[in-house]
Amino acid sequence: MMRILAVDTSTLSCGVAVTDGAGLLSECLFTSKQTHSRHLLSMVEEALTRSGLELKDLDGFSVTCGPGSFTGLRIGMSVVKGLAEVVDKPLVGISTLESLACGACLSGRPILAMLDARKGEVYAAWYQPDGVGGVTELSPPEAITPEALVKGIKGEVLCIGTGAVTYGAFLRESLKERAFFAPDYDIIRPAVVANLASKAFQRGEGSDAATLTPLYLRKSDAEIALALRNESKGHG
């Protein structure tokens, strides 16, 4: 049985879970507007203590790799990469949107997993429950406006995630009775991340920490500002 530590820092919630292949050993969740760097390492320590394990006892690590908060993703990935390198164990990145969708896979309806991307956009992807506790991706993650997103919705859909919270009123008005909501599934469960990681490791997808990169979908504010400055210099 593979013992996995999973971390999610992609939104305002920060989560850590430890599983052993047979089930969940421990899970810590914390929601705050403070930077996750203030809490993550202590949460890792707490999760391991509750599980009766030490870092060296783990067989692998997993972390949500995006899309999501630029700062949050960097914090989570840097911490988990460091831990994996310390004990020389494999690491796998897990989609934030797939993690969200798997948390609601028992609904039976097509799932629209959405994260609030700010600036009038959401990070979104479509999934179909596979009937065995997982989901099948119907469309890849994208950064899109809610207005453009609803144009492609024909039938019933379960809307979950922070994007569904932020734009709930718009979705209800636009989709009427076709839109369903699951407020209990707005937070990414690190236990779900660990379960997806276990399946990924079984498929041989584990990699060393150096090769794992985040999925951002769009440029950060800093990158946009730098590009604008370079463009202005080029015209000067």
pLDDT of 67: 96
- Whether residues 108 and 32 fall in one domain: no
Residues 103 and 180 in one domain: yes
* Co-location of 90 and 192 in the same domain: yes
Query: Which helix (H) or strand (E) segment is 36 a member of?
Result: none
Helices within the chain (DSSP H only): 40-51, 70-87, 96-102, 146-150, 162-166, 168-175, 190-202, 221-235
Q: What is the pLDDT of residue 227?
A: 41
Domain containing residue 66 = 4-96+188-229
The per-residue pLDDT for 133 is 85
Rounded CA-CA distance 54/47 in Å is 10
78 and 131 both lie in a single domain = no
Say which amino acid occupies 45.
E
Backbone angles phi, psi at 16, to 5 degrees: -135, 135
Kindly state whether residue 57 falls inside one of the protein's structural domains. Answer: yes
Domain count, the chain: 2
Residues 162 and 56 in one domain: no
What per-residue confidence (pLDDT) applies to 223? 47
Q: Tell me, what DSSP letter sits at residue 138?
A: E
pLDDT along the chain (236 residues), means of 10: 95 95 93 86 96 97 95 95 95 96 90 95 96 92 96 92 95 95 87 96 87 81 46 54
Are 72 and 128 in a shared domain?
A: no
CATH number (domain holding residue 145): 3.30.420.40
> d(Cα 58, Cα 75) in Å, to the nearest integer?
21
Whether 149 and 171 map to the same domain: the answer is yes
Q: Is residue 59 domain-shared with residue 105, that is, in the same domain?
A: no
- Taking the whole predicted model, whether its pTM rises above 0.85 is answered as yes
Whether 236 maps to a domain, the answer reads: no
Tell me the pairing of strands 157-160 and 179-181: parallel
pLDDT at 224: 43
Residue 234 in domain: no
Instruction: Kindly state whether residues 18 and 77 are assigned to the same domain.
Output: yes
The pLDDT of residue 225 is 44
**Statement to judge: residues 71 and 111 lie in one domain:** no
Kindly report the number of other CB atoms within 10 A of residue 149's CB atom: 22
169 is a domain residue: yes
